[in-house]
């Protein structure tokens, strides 16, 4: 059974059908690419799955449970994290704090949960323990991306490539099982893109399932196990990189119809 | 003269407590609220009614009025889930006006425009605080300022404070990080209102009377000025802002030149301060402090491990 799948997921904005009855299946520990021309509904599909937007109809199942009606924060807590197409970092907070936010809901120290009020007034020790847990795992993720030296910088002062990495680090800090990356290579130079490919494989090797929207075909074709192609909100093709590359409908979507 | 300086410090303390609350709402959570004076008014009137009509002691009245105000804060916090930026500011502005009108017109409870007089002072283990004895009042109020400061500091230096800041920076990203933004936004309003309620009850008890005209829109602006002037999202700076604003507004009386410079000039000065600060130093005089987590944790945790 797939780790995450959608059942005829549909999202309409007024008369426009952005996502039209899409069924996708994401298997555990795979890298799935989601491609399609601009305006194909890729980001809308991401938003409806991760709870930032609600589908008009259809369902999203994660680990066998229906997560369609859940708000975004609950979906994140259930193990789905994401990044954004236009980077959405907490700009006026430090790199360290950005990752610590990712740890926010994981840091429920058992003693604290039991007596929240008593702890607030008296129990500084538990709060310290909690902060220490957050601190430790945040360090771990900063180290994973080589961002430790930047930790006291404001996020807005990082170079663009590092901001992208920080956004992924922040998402990973929530300990997701599935990570959705919305155009992670956008605006990166070829060398940075190569590094990103290595990073995404390292993330997969941690046992995290990756789903990504990307326009950089080199990246998509190189690292994805499966590719899903959207056009005008519909799924037009699905399969391995080789299968998708030779699919007639996909070629038409990208290059236009050939007159016979 | 000394009496007047002590009086100024009493007012600075009362304003500092409500400004600390507003800082949590505006500075940390980034929700522009223009009804802090209404919260002060609710606190002051609750305490006044409890102490005069129901003969509560000051301490119980202070706590209950803090809680009543917190509930009102929760009420105004609910629209914040849907409103953003300017629209929220207008909604809080409306709320402030509603509160003022209720106070003026609900004669049977608030005695309308006459206000409530004869509010007793606190009694601490037999020691009565009288309005004549300003030194004890200064001590009492600044002890409460200290407690409030510690209370707010505990909130902002934990994961809760970081969550509030994340909401200020980017609400959508915050919810994608697993933060229940609705809970924290209402929580910020509730806590900020609670502190204003406490400040209001101190105000009522010190003045021995409350009148509806005190808690007008200008007062909200004055408290907002304190937060903006010191530095949004910095509690230390907020207290500094309260000191600067109150002293500035009392300078004409302090130097006995109030017949030359009318008190209405304050409004001009506050407006000017806000405009100039927004243009030249939007982060405030002191600004936001970057927390050095490595240092904080080393200091706080290493001795824990020993």
Contact status of A5 with chain B (Cβ, < 8 Å): no
Interface residue of A122, A125, A128 to substitute, partner B, most B CBs within 10 Å: A128
Instruction: State the average pLDDT over residues A108-131.
Output: 60
- With beta carbons under 8 A apart, name residues in chain B contacting A125: 304
The residue range of the domain holding B212 is: 2-217
Hey, is A102 helix, strand or coil?
Answer: helix
Low-confidence ranges of chain B (pLDDT < 50): 301-306
Question: Is the residue at B247 inside a domain?
Answer: no
CA distance B230 to B149: 15
* Burial class of residue B260 (count of CB atoms within 10 Å of its CB; 0-12, 13-18, 19+): exposed
Contact status of B101 with chain A (Cβ, < 8 Å): no
Question: Is the residue at B134 inside a domain?
Answer: yes
Contact status of B158 with chain A (Cβ, < 8 Å): yes
Is the pLDDT confidence value at A63 over 70?
A: yes
Mean residue pLDDT of chain B comes to: 85
How many separate domains does chain B show? 1
ipTM: 0.87
Contact status of A139 with chain B (Cβ, < 8 Å): no
Q: Hunting for tokens 């927004």 — which residue is that?
A: B278
pLDDT band of A124, cuts 50, 70, 90: low
Q: Would the CB atoms of A130 and B159 count as touching at under 8 Å?
A: yes
Instruction: State the average pLDDT over residues A90-112.
Output: 81
Instruction: State the average pLDDT over residues A36-64.
Output: 91
B132 versus A80: the higher-pLDDT residue is A80
Interface residue of A48, A101, A107, A152 to substitute, partner B, most B CBs within 10 Å: A101
Contact A97, A90 (CB under 8 A): yes
What is the model's pLDDT at position B293? Answer: 67
The proportion of chain A whose per-residue pLDDT surpasses 90, expressed as a percent, equals: 46
pLDDT in tens, B20-34: 999 999 989 999 989
Is the alpha carbon torsion for A210, A213, A215, A217 positive or negative?
positive
Contact status of B165 with chain A (Cβ, < 8 Å): yes
Question: Is the residue at B153 inside a domain?
Answer: yes
B26 versus A122: the higher-pLDDT residue is B26
Question: Is the residue at B287 inside a domain?
Answer: no
Give the pTM.
0.88
What is the model's pLDDT at position B216? Answer: 86
pLDDT in tens, B241-286: 899 888 888 877 777 776 777 767 777 877 887 788 888 887 777 7
Question: Is the residue at B248 inside a domain?
Answer: no
End-to-end CA distance of chain A: 42
| Residue numbers of B between 37 and 96 with CB closer than 8 Å to A | none
Q: Would the CB atoms of B179 and A73 count as touching at under 8 Å?
A: yes
Instruction: State the average pLDDT over residues A212-228.
Output: 91
Q: Would the CB atoms of B163 and A101 count as touching at under 8 Å?
A: yes
pLDDT band of A127, cuts 50, 70, 90: low
Question: Is the residue at B34 inside a domain?
Answer: yes
What is the model's pLDDT at position B110? Answer: 81
Instruction: State the average pLDDT over residues A215-239.
Output: 90
- With beta carbons under 8 A apart, name residues in chain A contacting B300: 128, 131
Question: Is the residue at B152 inside a domain?
Answer: yes
Q: Angle at CA A202, nearest 5°, toward A217 and A61?
A: 75
Is the pLDDT confidence value at A112 over 70?
A: no
Question: Is the residue at B301 inside a domain?
Answer: no
Is the pLDDT confidence value at A122 over 60?
A: no
């Amino acid at each position: 059974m797939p780790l995450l799948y959608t059942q005829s997921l549909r999202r309409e904005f007024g008369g426009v059908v952005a996502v039209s009855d899409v069924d996708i299946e994401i298997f555990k520990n795979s890298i799935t690419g989601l491609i399609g021309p601009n305006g194909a509904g890729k980001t809308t599909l991401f938003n409806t799955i991760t709870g930032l937007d609600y589908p008009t109809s259809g369902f999203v199942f994660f680990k066998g449970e229906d997560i369609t009606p859940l708000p975004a924060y609950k979906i994140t807590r259930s193990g789905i994290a994401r990044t954004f197409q236009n980077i959405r970092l907490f700009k006026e907070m430090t790199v360290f704090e950005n990752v610590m936010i990712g740890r926010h809901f994981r840091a429920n120290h058992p003693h604290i949960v039991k007596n929240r009020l008593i702890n607030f007034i008296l129990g500084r020790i538990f709060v310290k323990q909690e902060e220490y847990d957050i601190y430790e795992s945040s360090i771990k993720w900063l180290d994973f991306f080589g961002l430790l030296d930047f930790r006291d910088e404001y996020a807005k002062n990082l170079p663009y490539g590092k901001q992208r990495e920080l956004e992924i680090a922040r998402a990973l800090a929530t300990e997701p099982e599935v990570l959705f990356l919305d155009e992670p290579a956008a605006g990166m130079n070829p060398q940075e893109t190569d590094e990103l490919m290595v990073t995404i494989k390292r993330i997969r090797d941690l046992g995290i399932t990756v789903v990504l929207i990307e326009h950089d075909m080199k990246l998509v074709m190189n690292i994805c196990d499966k590719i899903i192609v959207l056009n005008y909100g519909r799924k037009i093709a699905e399969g391995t990189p080789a299968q998708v590359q030779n699919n007639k409908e996909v070629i038409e979507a990208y290059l236009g119809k050939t007159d016979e | 003269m000394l009496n007047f300086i002590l009086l100024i410090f009493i007012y600075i303390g009362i304003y500092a407590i409500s400004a600390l609350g507003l800082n949590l709402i505006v500075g940390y959570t980034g929700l522009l609220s223009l009804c802090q004076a209404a919260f002060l008014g609710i606190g002051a009137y609750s305490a006044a009614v409890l102490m005069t009509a129901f003969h509560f002691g000051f301490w119980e009245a202070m706590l209950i009025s803090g809680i009543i105000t917190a509930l009102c804060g929760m009420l105004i916090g609910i629209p914040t889930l849907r409103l953003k930026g300017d629209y929220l500011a207008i909604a809080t502005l409306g709320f402030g006006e509603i509160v003022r009108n209720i106070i003026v017109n609900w004669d049977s409870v608030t005695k309308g425009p006459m206000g409530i007089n004869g509010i007793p002072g606190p009694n601490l283990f037999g020691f009565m605080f009288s309005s004549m004895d300003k030194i004890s009042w200064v001590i009492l109020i600044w002890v409460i300022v200290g407690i409030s400061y510690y209370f707010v500091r505990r909130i902002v230096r934990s994961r809760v404070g970081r969550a509030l800041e994340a909401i200020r920076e980017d609400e959508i990203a915050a919810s994608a990080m697993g933060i229940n933004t609705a809970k924290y936004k209402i929580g910020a309003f509730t806590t900020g209102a609670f502190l204003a309620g406490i400040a209001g009850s101190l105000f009522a008890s010190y003045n021995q009377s409350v009148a509806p005209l005190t808690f007008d829109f200008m007062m909200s602006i004055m408290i907002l000025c304190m937060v903006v002037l010191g530095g949004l999202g910095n509690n230390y700076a907020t207290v500094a802002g309260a000191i600067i604003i109150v002293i500035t507004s009392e300078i004409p009386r302090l130097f006995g030149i109030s017949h030359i410079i009318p008190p209405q000039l304050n409004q001009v000065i506050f407006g000017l301060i806000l405009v100039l600060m927004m243009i030249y130093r939007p982060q405030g005089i002191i600004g936001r402090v970057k927390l050095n987590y490595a240092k904080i944790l080393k200091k706080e945790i290493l001795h824990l491990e020993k």
